[in-house]
Amino acid sequence: MLEDLHYAAMSRKGPSRQGNEDNFAIISKNNAFPVVFVVADGMGGHLNGELASKTAVDGVRDHLYPQLPAKDIQDEIEKILNDTTQVINTDIYKRSLEKETNTGMGTTMTCAVFYPDLLYLCQIGDSRCYRLRGHELEQMTKDQTLVQEMIDLGEIDAQDARYHPQRHILTQALGSPDFVKPGIGSMAVSEKDRYLLCSDGLHGFVPDEDISWILQNSDSAKEAAEKFVDIALSSGGQDDVTVIVAFISNGGSSDERE
């Protein structure tokens, strides 16, 4: 039930940044499913990164969300997610050609679509979705990065990825002249699940055990969102940090943003 979905969001620019290149949105209508969350982390310099991530979020709001069916139809939803991601990618690429200063801009995008019993995820880049179920934290998305490819090939261990000098190199981003291959999947939603969408301004500086602790020990989605941003910036993070937190529990829904 929608009244069992509590959510909150927060975004802060990094202390060494001129502006915030992250963008996010929580999208719902008439207190009904689906509910859509999206986090995008732009690149290409302050104004260009901000433009790229805003274009991605606007694309989810203006193109993806209106096409989603009221009821969960898996094949249709997954096709909408893929097709709309291609449209958003092309829009960003076209904007990168509008003037020389836009050249090379791009963005990550992680989108979560909640229905009563299923969650759909669509991802490009390395913004992540985590799920806490009971005491077990699981990363539900797979980074599209050079370091993740190295892990998959057995060239480095997963614990070495956090400090690898090439950890920020993406293998895919929106704004490419070619078709992109989003990671798309669905999973069952259970009572008492807790979810986190975040840019790498959080997961690049805060280890999984701390993410798990905050999700387990926060009384509300808003409290968790505030803790995540605080710990990311206090851990020496210089990047912009954006989080969307969703708790599934009994009670009225909430929408807290900052």
Q: Which domain holds residue 204?
A: 2-250
The number of distinct structural domains making up the chain is 1
- pLDDT confidence of residue 161: 66
Q: In this predicted model, what pLDDT tens digit does every residue of 88-140 receive, in sequence order? A: 999 999 999 998 888 899 999 999 999 999 999 999 999 999 999 999 999 99
For residue 257, being part of any structural domain is answered with: no
- pLDDT confidence of residue 255: 56
- pLDDT confidence of residue 239: 86
Alpha helices in 44-199 (DSSP H): 46-59, 65-67, 74-96, 146-152
The pTM (predicted TM-score) of the whole model is: 0.92
Check residues 170 and 45 and name the one with the higher pLDDT: 170
CA distances from 227 to 95, 165, 215 (A): 36, 27, 9
Report the distance separating Cα 250 and Cα 232, nearest Å. Answer: 29
Mean pLDDT calculated for residue range 165-180: 88
The mean pLDDT of the chain is 90
Check residues 235 and 142 and name the one with the higher pLDDT: 142
For residue 244, being part of any structural domain is answered with: yes
Q: CB burial class (10 A; 0-12, 13-18, 19+) of residue 228?
A: buried
For residue 139, being part of any structural domain is answered with: yes
For residue 208, being part of any structural domain is answered with: yes
What is the CATH classification number for the domain harbouring 146? 3.60.40.10
CA distances from 43 to 48, 52, 101, 174, 183 (A): 7, 7, 13, 10, 20
For residue 256, being part of any structural domain is answered with: no
Report the distance separating Cα 47 and Cα 69, nearest Å. Answer: 34
For residue 218, being part of any structural domain is answered with: yes
Alpha helices in 97-207 (DSSP H): 146-152, 200-203
Mean pLDDT calculated for residue range 20-39: 94
Residue 3 has pLDDT above 70, yes or no: no
Check residues 253 and 23 and name the one with the higher pLDDT: 23
For residue 193, being part of any structural domain is answered with: yes
Mean pLDDT calculated for residue range 36-51: 90
For residue 175, being part of any structural domain is answered with: yes
Q: Token pair 């909430």 is at which residue?
A: 254
